[in-house]
Amino acid sequence: MTAIPTIRTANVADAAAVQAIYAPIVKGTAISFEEVPPSIAEMGERIATTLENYPYLIAERNGEVIGYAYASQHRSRAAYRWSVDVTVYIADQAHRTGVGRALYSRLIAELTERGVHAAFAGIALPNPGSVALHESMGFTPLGIYREVGQKFGQWHDVGWWQRLLPRLS
């Protein structure tokens, strides 16, 4: 039986572990549309900047960082302030072990406490594992941006999913 991961708020000291999860995704897949992995220093800056306004969470098991999730600004216009984009990345060895669900459960709870109304997830397609995770967490499909990004000499679609968050009274 796989141990339940510990979920905690990220800090800049997590940058190396986060970068170690993210860099192979950037280099070897079209899951991320970045083409050059960010440095550890840049990842630390991203964590710090995100934490100024949004949650950034780390999943650990037996002291090892095995995943992370965060929220970010959906759009810059003022009326969008109650909506966020959400992102989750899981280390290869932790796929399909409940890490994504644990991260998203906590992230959604924190966003709900902050009064966020809607969470959006953009998923580079095909990615059946990510689609299944998001739909299991209550996200519903909205539509597809066809051939919106080109990586590795191929055009890639991005599907969009949304989850409306409950209002706290």
Domain presence at residue 94: yes
CATH number for position 111: 3.40.630.30
Task: Please determine, for residue 101, whether its predicted confidence score (pLDDT) is greater than 70.
Answer: yes
* H or E, element range at 109: helix 99-113
Mean pLDDT computed over 49-68? 97
Q: Quick check: 4 and 48 in contact, CB under 8 A?
A: no
Give the pLDDT confidence score for residue 169 in this predicted structure.
66
**pTM (two decimals):** 0.95
Domain presence at residue 12: yes
Domain presence at residue 169: no
CB atoms within 10 A of CB 49: 12
Q: How far apart are CA 24 and CA 6, in angstroms?
A: 23
Mean pLDDT computed over 130-135? 98
**Domain extent at residue 98:** 6-164
Q: How far apart are CA 20 and CA 25, in angstroms?
A: 9
pLDDT band at 42 (very low <50, low <70, confident <90, very high): very high
Domain presence at residue 1: no
Domain presence at residue 83: yes
Cα dihedral sign, 101-102-103-107: positive
Domain presence at residue 149: yes
Mean pLDDT computed over 54-73? 98
- Give the type of residue at 65: V
pLDDT band at 3 (very low <50, low <70, confident <90, very high): confident
Length of the chain: 169
Domain count, the chain: 1
Task: Please determine, for residue 1, whether its predicted confidence score (pLDDT) is greater than 80.
Answer: no
Give the pLDDT confidence score for residue 73 in this predicted structure.
97
Average pLDDT in the chain: 97
Mean pLDDT computed over 14-21? 98
Q: How far apart are CA 48 and CA 12, in angstroms?
A: 6
